[in-house]
Structure 1
Amino acid sequence: MQVFRLQWPELDAHVHVKAAEENPQVFDWFCTNLPTRSLQTHTVVAGYCLTSMSVPVRNPFPWTLDSLYQEDLVVLRPGRALLNMTIGNVVNLGFKWAEMTENMSYAVWSEVVPDDLPVLRKVGAAVWANMMSAEKRLIHVEFVAA
């Protein structure tokens, strides 16, 4: 099983990510773009989802989002990853870590391995607390080969 590592240096945490059954070609494509990194952010009103906006990629995204399998955020299992926008050589990604309330569908392409879900929840809670705090600090997320 091919995996990559999602890591947060400022939080001293990491998880392993594997391909989802749906859209495995997107996982394979993303792995050709490793390593890459961006700021870790969080959805604000739709529920609990770590988001990474404008993640740099070397290889442009070769599909249209409407050609990929999509899943509703409300029923998406925690740990599953979504891809919701591509612009040139950047992509926007999300990793659901708890309940979400927005009935929107996005392309699913990977998921955190089950043993690492407690770490994902811990990171999600820390990033959420950071987003809600008066003194925000920068938290980076790195996507690297495992």
Structure 2
Amino acid sequence: MSLIVTEERSVEIVWPTLGITVSATLDDRNAALADALWQALPYRSLQGHALVAGHHLYHVAPVHSLLHLPAAQRVDRRTVPDGTVFCSRLQHLGIKYGPLTEPMPATPIGQVVPDDVDSLMEAGRAIWESVYSTKKPIVAEVRRAGRTSGHSLARMKATDPAADALISDVHAETSRIWLEAPRELTELHEGRIASGAGSYGTVVTTMLFVNGETRPLGYSTYGGLVRATVEGMPLEALRHMARVLAGTPAEFLGYCGLDTLNAFTVRLMALLDRIDSRDDFLAVMAHMALYVNCLGGWNLHLFPWDLDTCLREFRGWA
């Protein structure tokens, strides 16, 4: 039996360093997604800001099931009111706070209360400065209204000992870097690249390619493998697709400095043939997805986006 979302399901989204709290009410437009978020509360996450779409906030939500839960209603994000709250298969909790340009279908789960929309806009502007220029991380706390804050990352289990050991190590590393930038990425963004990656001593090129490989590895490869598992793809085909899709990007990212990710991937490839349970396969891929999505969030925060001050959008279209 699916749970019905009621008006009593109120959440608070808090940015402690900004001194801003907004309240939102979950609704029944996508009840399965809203319920998954509700059951995962409270948690904390590095707050991000859209870099292409416009006035939109998002962060990685530590909710494994967001990768595969079905959506009952999709909307064009550009057309909905400011303060609309979304959950997505990219494992994001997002909030629209102003004009958007990207025509992406999105799955709404609630709405910031009208009295808090101005505060949401204030938070959005401050978070943009954090991501674009200052690089001072801002953490979002999401909790049930009237409850205390807290944080934990759920750990799935596998019956195969080697698979469960990999899950344990990936979970521990994800927990370690969830609110603290990974050393490998901070060194990369400081120009310390042990392999020498970056033609003619360039650094921005390597940072750009790392970002370009990490995001689809989490969103499409591991997120896609989770969805394919839930949707019934045969296990042998799942193993084959994991080998085809995950190995090469991880090897390249290891060359660029993400040694931990590459080491996890090597272990994963070595144990694929012994995973004979769909539940085990799902658990491993879900943890890899969350880990890589966490890396992707830090990549987006650390990248020096203000390099574009010398290259601004042409506004003279007829």
1:12 pairs with 6, 19, 27, which one?
19
Q: CA deviation at 1:24?
A: 3.4
TM-score, scaled relative to structure 1: 0.85
TM-score, scaled relative to structure 2: 0.41
CA distance in 1, matches of 2:38, 2:87: 14
After superposition, what is the alpha-carbon deviation per residue over 1:115-142, rounded to whole angstroms, capped at 9, x for unaligned? 1111100000111122221x31010001
Unaligned runs of 5+ in 2: 1-6, 146-318
Please name the residue that 1:102 is paired with: 102
Please name the residue that 2:65 is paired with: 60
1:76-87 → structure 2 map (5 Å cutoff): 76-86=80-90
- Higher relative contact order structure (alpha carbons within 8 Å, sequence separation ≥ 6): 1
Question: Are 1:6 and 1:141, in contact at CA under 8 Å, matched by a contact in 2?
Answer: yes
SS in 2 for 1:127: helix
CA distance in 1, matches of 2:125, 2:136: 14
Question: Are 1:46 and 1:100, in contact at CA under 8 Å, matched by a contact in 2?
Answer: yes
Q: Whose radius of gyration is greater, 1 or 2?
A: 2
Give 2:73's aligned amino acid: Y
Give 1:103's aligned amino acid: P
Give 1 or 2: higher strand fraction: 1
Question: Are 2:36 and 2:65, in contact at CA under 8 Å, matched by a contact in 1?
Answer: no
Identity of aligned residues (%): 30
CA distance in 2, matches of 1:131, 1:46: 14
Give 1:24's aligned amino acid: A
Relative to structure 1, the CA distance from residue 60 to residue 24 in structure 2 (aligned partners, 3 Å threshold; closer, same or farther) is closer
CA distance in 1, matches of 2:114, 2:32: 21
Give 1 or 2: higher helix fraction: 2
After superposition, what is the alpha-carbon deviation per residue over 1:79-118, rounded to whole angstroms, capped at 9, x for unaligned? 00122225xxxx2121000000001111111111111111
CA distance in 2, matches of 1:61, 1:93: 10
Please name the residue that 2:139 is paired with: 140
Unaligned runs of 5+ in 1: none
